[in-house]
Structure 1
Amino acid sequence: MSDENNVEHKVLHNKEYSIFQIAINLTVACFISGAIIAGTYFITAPVAAKNAITMKNDAMKALVKDAETFKPLNGKKDWFTAEKNGKVIAYVVPAESKGYGGAIKMLVSVTPQGKIIDFAILSSNETPGLGDNAGKDAFRSEFKGKKSEDLEVVKDKSKENNIQAMTGATISSKAVTKGIKEAVQQVTQFVGGK
């Protein structure tokens, strides 16, 4: 009987030891994984931030080709003035709207007179071949030189100043147009309704 108790005690002791050992092993593995992730982030975060700034600057240069410099606008988050010869020739502002596939994030360039120069889609999840065509020249060119009141999406070109909806992507067309219209209205309000 005492041999059975010893065997039972050893089995219980081995089970406790193995559970304790597993817990220690998992703790060490989690610590090492966390250290690797933290180290990777520490190394890559500055590079990613620098790349994001470069991409944004490149996007702004593409939106306002005549600009010599871009300066952050105090008091306006993510707004920039595009300047040439020390004079503001455009404002580059963020815009966002909800499309068919979720949020569509854009940069919009607007003259101080409230006319659209261009826009760039920074991120979207619109349907490939349909809504994602919003960033292509055929659709983007419809906005150039238009003011806020000209930004109405139509399915047929009934009025000269309207925005022609992309075939099969009316929701995306309206979402992009809405975001751009809001950006133009914000710039117009900021410069005093010029």
Structure 2
Amino acid sequence: MKRIARSTLQTSVNLVFFAVIGTAILSSTYYLTRDTIAATVAQAKLKLVSQLLPPTSYDNDIMQDRHTVAADEMLGTEEATQAHIARRDGKPVAVVLEAIAPDGYSGKIALIMAIHPDGSLGGVRVVSHNETPGLGDYIDIAKQDWIKTFDGRSRSLFSDEMWKVRKDGGMFDYMAGATITPRAVIMAVNRALQYFEAHRDELFVADAQPAKGAAK
């Protein structure tokens, strides 16, 4: 019995030892690679931003000129995101916001968009999605130019009734048999513009404090 007890104790000690070692290795790997991962993410975001705003339209470091935006229902976000500000000669040119369309055909659709001070869109791009290849994936700029139909649109020029696909009486084209995907994107962009209207001043202010969530 004593031999069994000692064997069991030794096994337990070994398990704890390897668990500690494994945790230490994972922690070390994280700390060694986190800067590289962050740099890769930043470069990917900058590449998307360059599709929304011509690099010559601003003269600040847009990736560093940023502040935290709290998770908000209007943005569809469940975690804090970063708002990036484009400025020229110190004056705001646009704010780049992240948003989520929660109701895509195959799940969430992550978006990034540039909004000018007058509320007009510099553009919208899909960051990630799981929509059906050859059907709902036409929202991806790599597949088709449909997403460019948001360029220059604003809520001041078009009422809420127009922020729908043509099948529903709105102004946006869609691919036959794939209306759920564009509906989700259109609604998400419209909600993000409403968020912008409610938080315009705090989004553009220099050295801004984290933007508060919209009143629920």
Asked whether the two chains share a fold, i.e. TM above 0.5, the reply is yes
Identify which of 108, 111, 115 aligns with 1:106: 111
Structure 2 match to 1:119: 124
Deviations 1:79-121 (A, max 9, x none): 2222234332222112212112222221111222222221122
Structure 1 match to 2:148: 141
CA distance in 2, matches of 1:74, 1:174: 28
Aligned CA distance change for structure 1 residues 169 and 68 (closer, same or farther; 3 Å): farther
Task: Check conservation: 2:117, 2:200, Cα contact below 8 A.
Answer: yes
Structure 2 match to 1:154: 166
Structure 1 match to 2:211: none
| Same amino acid, percent of matched pairs | 27
CA distance in 1, matches of 2:197, 2:164: 18
- 1:83 paired with 2:87, answer yes
Structure 2 match to 1:188: 197
- 1:53 paired with 2:47, answer no
Q: What SS class does the counterpart of residue 53 from structure 1 fall into?
A: helix
Structure 1 match to 2:180: 171
The alignment's C-alpha RMSD in Å is 2.5
Matched letter for residue 119 of structure 1? V
CA distance in 2, matches of 1:74, 1:52: 16
Task: Check conservation: 1:113, 1:188, Cα contact below 8 A.
Answer: no
Matched letter for residue 91 of structure 1? V
Q: Runs ≥4 in structure 1, deviation > 6 angstroms?
A: none
Larger radius of gyration: 1
Per-residue deviation at 1:187? 2.5
Task: Check conservation: 1:139, 1:166, Cα contact below 8 A.
Answer: no
Task: Check conservation: 1:100, 1:126, Cα contact below 8 A.
Answer: yes
Per-residue deviation at 1:22? 1.5
TM-score (norm 1): 0.78
CA distance in 2, matches of 1:82, 1:121: 20
Which of structures 1 and 2 has the larger relative contact order (alpha carbons within 8 angstroms, sep 6+)?
2
Task: Check conservation: 2:113, 2:125, Cα contact below 8 A.
Answer: yes
Q: Which runs of 5+ in 2 are unaligned?
A: 71-80, 202-216
CA distance in 1, matches of 2:82, 2:112: 10
TM-score (norm 2): 0.71
Matched letter for residue 27 of structure 2? A
Aligned CA distance change for structure 1 residues 25 and 57 (closer, same or farther; 3 Å): same
Task: Check conservation: 1:151, 1:181, Cα contact below 8 A.
Answer: yes
CA distance in 2, matches of 1:82, 1:132: 29
Q: Which runs of 5+ in 1 are unaligned?
A: 1-11
Structure 2 match to 1:30: 19
Task: Check conservation: 1:112, 1:187, Cα contact below 8 A.
Answer: no
Per-residue deviation at 1:177? 0.7
